[in-house]
Amino acid sequence: METLLDRFLRYVRIDTQSNEGSSTHPSTPGQMELAQLLEKELQQLGLSNITLSKKGYLMAEIPANTDKKIPTIGFIAHLDTSPDVSGKDVKPQLFPNYDGNDLVLNHAENLILKIQDYPELGDYIGQTIITSDGTTLLGADNKAGVAVIITAIANLMNKPDFIHGKIVIAFTPDEEIGQGADFFDVAGFGADFAYTIDGGPLGELEYETFNAAIAHIDIQGINVHPGSAYMRMKNAILIAMELNTMLPTNERPEYTRNYEGFFHLSEFHGSVESAKMTYIIRDHDKAKFEHKKAYLKNCVDFLNSKYGESSINLKMLDQYYNMKEKIEPIYHIVDLAEQAMVEEEIKPLIKPVRGGTDGARLSFMGLPCPNIFTGGHNFHSRYEYISLESMEAATKVIIRIIQLIESLGKPLRKMSE
């Protein structure tokens, strides 16, 4: 049998970096390449009802092997990696029996994973750490989730005496650009509930996400020769800077944590003639989220009154909402994952996601989806790393959840009840 490590190392070498500027689904061809590879592996493992849509959604099932009424459980991971850092030509490297010192990722470029900067490394002394060579990200987000699910299912298929209900799995494209749930067939998937395997350090268990919006701002200036600019020039760059200074400094990502929301200026391009800004707006609290959106709009309205109507065009779009609203009524699916971790001697770390997952949107589409750890750190970074032992623990948690849901022997309460 191929090991979890073997799978993971194969998957990260496939470039599945998503692209927000693409008009195709999936947004990049590498995602379909990985999906087709996984489709063949699922066929070899003997799964049923394997489907791969033209838009890159791969689904499969393991039929129930009992007549007991057991809820259908799902496990989901995404195929793509972050568009922020290159995922091409990933060169994974292993540091077995980690000794607690700095890890040199790349001698030639002096790229070092320093324990001083990343003290969490100290939690993994004696374990196997996996990194890239520092010139790309590693891709554990979310190739680790993919490898963990496949390995758990492979182990399950080799245990015919393991009693279980119907199990479904899915691998989705373009999660990193907020499109992972766009074409997800919830009814076709057929799960009563599911878990995204897309979390970070060992023990993470999350059922709260941000409420999220994106704001695109176009600023139209007037460019004239600076020697004759008196009362005529309208500098789009300076208007953009003025807008940014109107937003609270202490509500930037670098100054917020835990349940604190933020305005994040994620992109800026500008000249005197025109400027473009992109903000992402985040808050766990729905009322504070709506207040942040209204505040930004009021700032734009003020500047339009100052510099002339239509000087600034704001397009704001909600992206996803806090899935806590949909999961709290059936909190026992969180309890189930927590119990599985405890029985595997893993300390559960139940905390809010300072971001989002496919599970946030899927929860509002009728498929409640808490999020479970894979073991990774520093996602979206060339300093990304993951512990092999943590991935193995995630595999055991999946199997334990399946075992525990069988012991319940009754359907979970539906969200509408």
Question: Considering 133, 175, 251, 358, which one is annotated as catalytic?
Answer: 175
- pLDDT, residue 1, reads 55
The whole-chain average pLDDT of the chain stands at 94
- pLDDT, residue 2, reads 79
CATH of domain 211-320: 3.30.70.360
Q: Is 168 exposed, middle or buried (0-12, 13-18, 19+ CB in 10 A)?
A: buried
Percent of the chain, pLDDT > 90?
Answer: 91
Q: Which of 363-372, 387-396, 406-415 has the lowest mean pLDDT?
A: 406-415
User: Looking at residues 203-211, what average pLDDT do you find?
Assistant: 96
Please confirm, yes or no, whether 392 is among the known catalytic residues. no
Q: What is the rounded distance in angstroms from the CA atom of residue 302 to the CA atom of residue 307?
A: 9
Q: How confident is the model at residue 411 (pLDDT cuts 50, 70, 90)?
A: very low
pLDDT > 50? residue 410: no
Range list of β-strands (E), 221-369: 262-270, 274-283, 312-320, 349-350
Q: What is the pLDDT of residues 234-250, one digit of tens each?
A: 999 999 999 999 999 99
- pLDDT, residue 407, reads 65
- pLDDT, residue 353, reads 87
- pLDDT, residue 160, reads 86
User: Looking at residues 65-85, what average pLDDT do you find?
Assistant: 95
Q: What is the rounded distance in angstroms from the CA atom of residue 68 to the CA atom of residue 240?
A: 62
Q: Which of 297, 290, 299, 291 is nearest to 245 (CA)?
A: 299
- pLDDT, residue 416, reads 36
pLDDT > 50? residue 66: yes
Please tell me what DSSP assigns to residue 177.
G
User: Looking at residues 70-86, what average pLDDT do you find?
Assistant: 96
Please confirm, yes or no, whether 80 is among the known catalytic residues. yes
User: Looking at residues 140-156, what average pLDDT do you find?
Assistant: 97
Q: What is the rounded distance in angstroms from the CA atom of residue 268 to the CA atom of residue 177?
A: 18
Beta bridge pairs of residue 51: 59
pLDDT > 90? residue 333: yes
pLDDT > 50? residue 339: yes
| Residue spans in the chain of domains classed CATH 3.30.70.360 | 211-320
pLDDT > 60? residue 252: yes
Pair 357, 321: CB distance under 8 Å = no
DSSP 222-235: B---GGG-TTT-B-
Helix axes 388-408, 332-343, angle to 10 degrees: 120
| Residue spans in the chain of domains classed CATH 3.40.630.10 | 4-208+322-408
User: Looking at residues 113-131, what average pLDDT do you find?
Assistant: 97
- pLDDT, residue 413, reads 45
User: Looking at residues 254-266, what average pLDDT do you find?
Assistant: 96
CATH of domain 4-208+322-408: 3.40.630.10
Beta bridge pairs of residue 193: 73
User: Looking at residues 341-352, what average pLDDT do you find?
Assistant: 95
Return the higher-pLDDT residue of 18 and 353: 18
Return the higher-pLDDT residue of 357 and 416: 357
Secondary structure (3-state) at 285: coil
Question: Considering 15, 80, 206, 358, which one is annotated as catalytic?
Answer: 80
- pLDDT, residue 409, reads 46
